[in-house]
Amino acid sequence: MDCGSLLTPDREDMTEEESFEYLPHTDPATFVAEFQKSTSADNKIKFHTGTTTLGFKFKEGVIIAVDSRATAGSYIASQTVKKVIEINPYLLGTMAGGAADCSFWERLLAKQCRIYQLRNRERISVAAASKILSNMVYQYKGMGLSMGTMVCGWDKRGPGLYYVDSDGQRTLTTCSVSGLDLLTLMVSWILVTVTKCQ
């Protein structure tokens, strides 16, 4: 079945088995705009700008997409930040959160992966690399780290995609979205719809 055709909620040729529940609003941009314009004190949704990182694992590999803007509060510090960090030729990490935290821990992970390769005479797996990162940052849980990163790549078992945050939580996933901006909300809405097609 073509996923693109499922994105249109007005299809009349869908059987009961093919149908799935849609979010209550068909246009996420319009839905979100209502909250952004609201000046009401009871408006519980406050939107912040920030990083958006997307990761998708499929049979032949992994696709990673990130933005390139760095912000400091409402100030845009840079429009050209490299938020995909090469850990080794077969592993990548993404940056979301504090740029210094992400950069430091992923460079340290790259060093640990190289040491593993020299000791064992084989490349480290995606799962093992993400576990090393998770274990390293877990030691600093609750100490103010700000990091949400995806570790992805290709190893003997095929493609791998893991999400690791600054609390040391590690999640194996087939698609991951992280970040704090409006685009993340919209992409998450699309992902909910598209992943139902798989």
| Residues recognised as catalytic | 51
Let me know: does 62 contact 154? Beta carbons within 8 Å: yes
Tokens describing residue 5: 């055709």
Nearest one of 118, 149, 114 to 134, comparing CA atoms: 149
Q: Return the DSSP state at 180.
A: S
Q: Return the DSSP state at 33.
A: H
Residue type at 119 in one-letter notation: R
Tokens describing residue 181: 């901006």
Let me know: does 48 contact 181? Beta carbons within 8 Å: yes
3-state DSSP assignment of residue 142: coil
Measured from the Cβ of residue 11, the count of other Cβ atoms closer than 10 Å reads 11
